[in-house]
Amino acid sequence: MPSDPSQKSSRRRILKHLSFLSGAAALPAALRAIAAQSPQSQSPPLETTSPPELTPSELTQAQQLAAALNPHRVALVKTTDRAAGIRRAIELLQPPSFQGKTVFIKPNYNTGDPAPAATDPVVLETLVQHIQGAGAKAITVGDRSGMATTRNAMEQMQVFALAKRYGFKPIVFDELDRNDWQYFPATGTNWSRGFAIARPVLDADAIVNVCCLKTHRFGGHFTLSLKNTIGMVARYVPGDGHDYMRELHRSTNQRLMIAEVNKAYRPALVVIDGVDAFVGGGPEQGKRVKAGVILAATDRIAIDAVGIAMLRKLGTTREVSNGSIWSQTQIRRAADLGLGAVGPEQIEFVTGDGPSREMAQQVRSFLA
């Protein structure tokens, strides 16, 4: 049966759109193979200087196809507008649907200091709006501070006020009962007694990890999505006198241990607010610069590698700058555990405009 010319045309527009977003050289091999099926004499080449017009259905197909073929995609939006940048990054990334799901949002409230020390209220509000608009069944937001009283930090960052406005459930992890923690054994880790993660996180259908772009002067070297997971881990479990955070921060294996707790879950979405960044010091204060970027991904290693590359581009500490990104202890251990990308060639940038594409190209040069 002859193929429908309109379907061929639609497929070609979708492929050209993907080429424009990521660059033809970055297209997954499967897409390039599909493109090769169409003779050049009948169709123009994939490379284009402007994005082809797609119908809403075609746009959705293009984004879902790219996401399915490459789980290591990182959406990059050059912006100083947190709300618009987050909405655009999620639109570009097309993460799994939140429809009908219970969603846990894990922000960064190590303290209640302004971003990039902690998650800006605009970031949380924008994400809640998006997730509710996507049809989520319920949203919970929670954290455990490391350098402040958690409830106070959350109060400073307007979490409880936003909870009243939007109807989500805020949780202070320090106030959880013993049965609200799930223990994970020490076997195969550098934790002497294992560790415990808050059950409300693990019980959710989808987990959103929301972090800042910054360095960490207390041994982590950088604090991005892998390190943000530490806020899910108990310092103390009621009835258990062991101080898990003292063990972590006194250990010479701290960065290995950071990666290891990430084995306990897989995020549905990771967002890095890089409008501002700490390129030195951190996590609660440091050398602040205007980075002007929002990143989104589903792969923690991929987005953290891009975050490190961004810090290197901006000029950062010796610990973050030295050697290959892929030999950084957090990244290497996470890769060994099978948590995501294992090299720069797997990472595909997804952008939607010229300035963002230019920034992505610059960041790419630091990604080795």
Q: What is the rounded distance in angstroms from the CA atom of residue 51 to the CA atom of residue 1?
A: 32
The residue behind tokens 């998650």 is: 119
Residue-wise pLDDT for 139-194, tens only, equals 999 999 999 999 999 999 999 999 999 999 999 999 999 999 999 999 999 999 99
Among residues of the chain, what percentage have pLDDT more than 70? 82
Other CB atoms within a 10 A radius of the CB of residue 85 amount to 27
How far is residue 118's CA from residue 212's CA, in Å, rounded to a whole number? 7
Indicate the pTM of the whole model.
0.85
Q: Percentage of residues in the chain with pLDDT exceeding 90?
A: 81
The per-residue pLDDT of the chain, averaged, comes to 89
Which amino acid, one-letter code, is at 112?
G
DSSP H or E run through 60: helix 56-69
Cβ atoms within 10 Å of 165's Cβ, excluding its own: 11
CA angle at residue 138 from 136 to 141, to 5 degrees? 115
**Overall average pLDDT of the 226-243 stretch:** 98
**357: Cβ contacts below 8 Å, ≥ 6 apart:** 23, 349, 351
Nearest to 121 by CA among 171, 75, 160: 160
Domains plus CATH for the chain? 1-69 (no CATH), 70-364 (3.40.50.11440)
Task: Give the pLDDT mean for 118-147.
Answer: 98
Length of the chain: 368
Average pLDDT over residues 16-38: 47
What residues have CB less than 8 Å from 6, skipping those under 6 apart? none
Instruction: Band the pLDDT of 232: cuts 50, 70, 90.
Output: very high
Asked if 271 and 127 count as a contact pair (C-beta separation under 8 A), the reply is: yes
In the predicted structure, residue 37 carries a pLDDT above the cut 70: no
Question: 298-320 pLDDT, tens per residue?
Answer: 999 999 999 999 999 999 999 99
CA distances from 136 to 86, 99, 131, 349 (A): 18, 5, 6, 27
- pLDDT attached to residue 24: 39
Using alpha carbons only, what angle is made at residue 345 by residues 272 and 58, rounded to the nearest 5 degrees? 70
Categorize the per-residue pLDDT at 55 as very low, low, confident or very high, splitting at 50, 70 and 90: confident
Check residue 70 and give its pLDDT: 85
As a whole number of Å, the end-to-end CA separation of the chain is 49
Least confident of 60-69, 113-122, 200-209: 60-69
- 3 pLDDT tier (thresholds 50, 70, 90): low
pLDDT bucket at 23, cuts 50 / 70 / 90: very low
What are 259-312's pLDDT values in tens digits? 999 999 999 999 999 999 999 999 999 999 999 999 999 999 999 999 999 999
Give the per-residue pLDDT at 5. Answer: 61
At 131 the pLDDT is 98
- Residue 66 confidence (pLDDT) above 50: yes
Tell me phi and psi for residue 120, to 5 degrees. -65, 140
What value does the mean pLDDT take over residues 86-105? 98
Q: Evaluate if residue 36 carries a pLDDT over 70.
A: no
Model pLDDT for residues 345-366, shown as the tens digit of each residue:
999 999 999 999 999 999 999 9
Q: Are 192 and 247 in contact (CB under 8 A)?
A: yes
pLDDT at 12: 67
